């Protein structure tokens, strides 16, 4: 339920931003994100229980948390990639071959957005989560869509040029 709520919030914010007539504003008017250390407001693990939710009854909360951490470490190693240096300010992205590209894409806006949500949820466990998140935000800011300059390009090419 919590993830569904986050998904709905993220989707509605994304769509409202793309339909807005306002010019995107970067934090403090900067063109690049500068990593500034901070504490997570709701660090992992939150381990909350919600009304009418289902949790496995054969695993302890500690085991569930350990499983999440194990998969997160696998996900980082398999999918998190650093900019090749062509993007001003550098950054990070979630490596993902999209559908509908020409085969030379490295990520899509969907993979990028979901990756940012994962990093926000894992803050508190991973001391690098904010660095990765800020780097992903910079990649977003540096790759606006040619179809709508208020949204991130749907595909980023392996040369780190925006395609759409």
In a domain, 131, yes or no: yes
Ramachandran region, residue 55 (left: φ > 0; alpha: ψ -120 to 50; beta: rest): beta
Specify whether the CB–CB gap between 139 and 86 falls below 8 A. no
Tokens of 154: 């749907």
Distance, CA of 34 to CA of 15 (rounded, Å): 26
Which residue do the tokens 């302890």 mark? 60
pTM: 0.74
Q: Is the pLDDT of residue 63 over 90?
A: yes
In a domain, 58, yes or no: yes
Cα 138-142-35 angle, rounded to 5 deg: 20
In a domain, 40, yes or no: yes
Residues 112-121 have pLDDT tens digits of: 999 999 999 9
Query: What CATH number does residue 95 fall under?
Result: 1.50.10.10
Percentage of the chain modeled with pLDDT above 70: 73
Distance, CA of 146 to CA of 152 (rounded, Å): 9
Q: Is the pLDDT of residue 53 over 60?
A: yes
Residues 13-27 have pLDDT tens digits of: 444 445 444 544 554
Counting beta carbons within 10 angstroms of the beta carbon of residue 127, is it exposed (0 to 12), middle (13 to 18) or buried (19 or more)? exposed
Task: Count the domains in the chain.
Answer: 1
Q: What is the DSSP string of 46-104?
A: -----TT----SSS-HHHHHHHHHHHHHHHHHHHEEE--S-STT--EEE----SSS-S-
More confident residue, 63 or 19: 63
In a domain, 88, yes or no: yes
> Quick one: pLDDT at residue 8?
52
Residues 68-113 have pLDDT tens digits of: 999 999 999 999 999 999 988 899 999 987 666 677 889 999 999 9
Domain that residue 129 falls in = 2-157
In a domain, 162, yes or no: no
Q: Which of 3-7, 36-40, 144-148, 153-157 has the lowest mean pLDDT?
A: 3-7
In a domain, 85, yes or no: yes
* Greatest mean pLDDT among 4-13, 97-106, 122-131: 122-131
Split at pLDDT 50, 70, 90, the class of 36 is low
In a domain, 45, yes or no: yes
Distance, CA of 141 to CA of 89 (rounded, Å): 10
> Quick one: pLDDT at residue 15?
47
In a domain, 164, yes or no: no
Q: Which of 10-14, 129-133, 150-154 has the lowest mean pLDDT?
A: 10-14
Q: Is the pLDDT of residue 9 over 60?
A: no
Q: Pick the closest to residue 20 from 138, 116, 148 (CA basis).
A: 148
Distance, CA of 129 to CA of 69 (rounded, Å): 13
Cα 72-76-80 angle, rounded to 5 deg: 145
Pairing of strands 92-94, 80-82: antiparallel
């Amino acid at each position: 339920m919590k993830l569904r709520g986050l998904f709905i919030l993220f989707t509605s914010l994304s769509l409202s931003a793309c339909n807005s007539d306002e010019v995107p504003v970067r934090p403090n008017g900067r063109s690049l994100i500068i990593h500034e250390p901070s504490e997570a407001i709701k660090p992992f693990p939150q381990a909350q229980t919600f009304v009418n939710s289902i949790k496995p009854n054969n695993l302890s909360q500690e085991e569930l948390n350990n499983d999440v951490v194990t998969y997160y470490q696998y996900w980082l190693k398999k999918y998190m990639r650093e900019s090749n240096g062509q993007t001003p300010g550098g950054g990070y992205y979630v490596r993902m071959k999209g559908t509908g590209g020409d085969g030379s894409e490295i990520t899509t806006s969907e993979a990028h957005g979901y990756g940012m949500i994962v990093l926000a949820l894992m803050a508190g466990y991973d001391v690098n989560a904010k660095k990765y998140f800020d780097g992903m935000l910079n990649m977003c800011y540096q790759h606006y869509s040619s179809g709508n300059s208020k949204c991130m390009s749907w595909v980023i090419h392996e040369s780190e040029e925006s395609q759409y």
